[in-house]
């Protein structure tokens, strides 16, 4: 049986995991305490936790426009070995996010151990590709040539030795090939 271990409360709408490296990308909509979409890169750990300790550490690190995560409530755990999250990086997006918007976290095709995040961004009318080592935006993927402005869902996939990102709009699918 699975037992619930509440780790993060907030206006979250997306999660993407890379299980081999225990990293997750959690996306949060803007709210009264955050003016921009926040994409927080976490590392999942387990170990002994003292009673009343925070299950999330490192929250508040701002990358991009310098907006930090505030208003995120963190659970307290009971003593024992429990999962906990370490916030490695906060990637800052635009000022709005659609309900169906989905980001993806994946291994860098050319750099062993490095991660990339691809996050749809309504304000940019693109999917933003972030280098998770540096916290910097490395590319904007747009579907404007398909007559579409907003990308709703981005997903990395590997096919026939090549790396791709599929970008889903309301009516089209755009495919981007890693070169």
Neighbouring residues of 13: CB distance < 8 A, sequence distance ≥ 6: 27, 28, 29, 97, 99, 101
> What does the pLDDT read at residue 56?
55
> What does the pLDDT read at residue 13?
87
| Structure tokens belonging to residue 164 | 């791709």
> What does the pLDDT read at residue 31?
83
What is the DSSP secondary structure assignment for residue 163, as one 8-state letter? E
How would you classify the pairing of strands 173-177 and 162-168?
antiparallel
| Structure tokens belonging to residue 51 | 């009673």
What is the DSSP secondary structure assignment for residue 68, as one 8-state letter? P
CB–CB of 130/119 below 8 Å? Answer: yes
Q: What is the full per-residue pLDDT of the chain (179 aa) written as tens digits?
A: 887 776 677 788 889 999 888 899 999 988 887 899 999 999 988 876 555 445 555 544 333 333 233 334 344 444 556 777 888 999 998 888 877 789 999 999 999 999 999 999 988 888 999 999 999 999 999 987 767 778 889 999 999 999 999 999 888 888 999 99
In the block, which residue shows the tokens 């599929």?
166
CB–CB of 69/120 below 8 Å? Answer: no
Nearest of 149, 129, 145 to residue 137 by alpha carbon = 129
> What does the pLDDT read at residue 146?
67
- Beta-carbon count within 10 A of 28 CB: 23
């Amino acid at each position: 049986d699975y037992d619930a271990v509440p780790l993060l409360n907030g206006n979250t709408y997306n999660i993407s995991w890379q299980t081999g490296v225990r990293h997750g990308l959690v996306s949060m909509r803007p709210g009264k305490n955050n003016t921009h979409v926040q994409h927080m890169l976490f590392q999942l750990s387990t170990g002994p936790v003292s009673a009343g300790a925070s299950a999330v550490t490192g929250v508040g690190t701002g990358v991009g426009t310098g907006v930090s995560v505030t208003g995120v409530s963190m659970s307290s755990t009971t003593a024992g070995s429990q999962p906990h999250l370490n916030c490695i990086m906060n990637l800052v997006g635009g000022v709005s996010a659609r309900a169906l918007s989905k980001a993806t976290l994946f291994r860098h095709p050319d750099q062993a151990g490095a991660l990339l995040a691809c996050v749809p961004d309504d304000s940019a009318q693109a999917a933003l590709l972030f280098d998770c080592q540096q916290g910097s935006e490395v590319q904007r993927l747009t579907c404007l040539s398909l007559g579409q402005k907003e990308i709703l869902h981005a997903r990395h996939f590997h096919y026939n030795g090549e790396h791709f990102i599929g970008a889903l709009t309301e009516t089209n699918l755009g495919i981007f090939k890693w070169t």
